[in-house]
Amino acid sequence: MSRILRRRSLARQRGYTLVELMMALALFTVAMLGIISMQKITVVSNAHAKNVAIAERIAQAWSAQLEMDATAWRVAYGAGFLSNPAGWQRPLPARGFGSAFDALGNPLTDSATDLARAQFCTHVRLTWLYPTTTGVSGNATLRAEIRVFWLRDGEAPLDTTSSVCAQQTAVQAQNIGLSTDRYYFVYQTVGVRQHFQI
C-alpha cells in the first residue's frame, strides 16, 4: 500500500507532460486569435460608425443650409441654385460652407489644397414638387435630396486623377451614386418651400 502511495506522490511531483503542455498552448493560441480578431472587427466597426455619424451631421447641416437659403427665395428673384433644379450637383461654397469636408466633418474651401484632403463630399439633387408655374404665386416647393459620400477603405475615386470631392460632370455625379463598391453613402431628403414676397 505504501508503494502505491509513493508512486502517486512521485507522479504528482513530476509536473505536466509534453502532450498536456502542447494542448494547453494550443487552447491558449485559439483563444488569443479569437480575441485579436474580435478587436480588429470592433476597431473597424467603430471607425465606420464614426464616419456614418459625421456624414449624417453633414447631411443635416446641408438640410438646414437649404432651408435657410429658401428664406431668400422669393417670386422676384431666386436663391442660388434653388431656382434652377437639375440632377445631382456638387454645390459650390457659399458663406464658407461648401461640398467638401475633412475627416472630422469640418467644411473645406474649393482650393486645390483643401480638396486634396477632403474625406467627405456632398451632392444635392433638386426636383420640383410644385413648380413656380402653378397657379398660386410664391407657392413653389422643391424636394431636396442630399447625398454625402466617402471612400471605402482601400478604394480610389472614380476619377483617379482627382480627389474624392473634385468638380464632376453630370454623368460622373450619376456614376458616383451607382458605385456602391467604392463609396459609402448617407442620404437625407428635405422639402424646401418658396416664401411669399411681402
C-alpha closest to that of 192 among 106, 68, 103, 90? 68
- For 123-137, b/e burial (b = at least 16 CB within 10 A) is bbbbeeeeebeeeee
- What does the alpha-carbon distance between residue 14 and residue 19 come to, in Å, rounded to a whole number? 14
Range of the domain at 107: 34-193
Per-residue model confidence (pLDDT) at position 50: 95
Does residue 2 sit within a domain? no
Does residue 5 sit within a domain? no
Does residue 15 sit within a domain? no
Per-residue model confidence (pLDDT) at position 198: 52
24 Cβ neighbours under 8 A, 6+ residues apart = 16
Does residue 90 sit within a domain? yes
- The parts of the chain modelled with pLDDT lower than 70 are 1-2, 5, 7-15, 73-85, 93-96, 132-139, 161, 196-198
Domain count, the chain: 1
Cell of 31: 483563444
100-142 pLDDT, tens digit each:
999 999 999 888 888 888 999 999 988 888 776 655 566 678 8
Does residue 61 sit within a domain? yes
State pTM to two decimals: 0.75
- Cα 145 to Cα 37, 52, 71, 107, 188, distances in angstroms: 38, 17, 18, 19, 6
Does residue 133 sit within a domain? yes
Does residue 77 sit within a domain? yes
Per-residue model confidence (pLDDT) at position 76: 42
Does residue 142 sit within a domain? yes
Per-residue model confidence (pLDDT) at position 150: 94
Asked whether 58 and 120 are in contact (CB, 8 A), the reply is yes
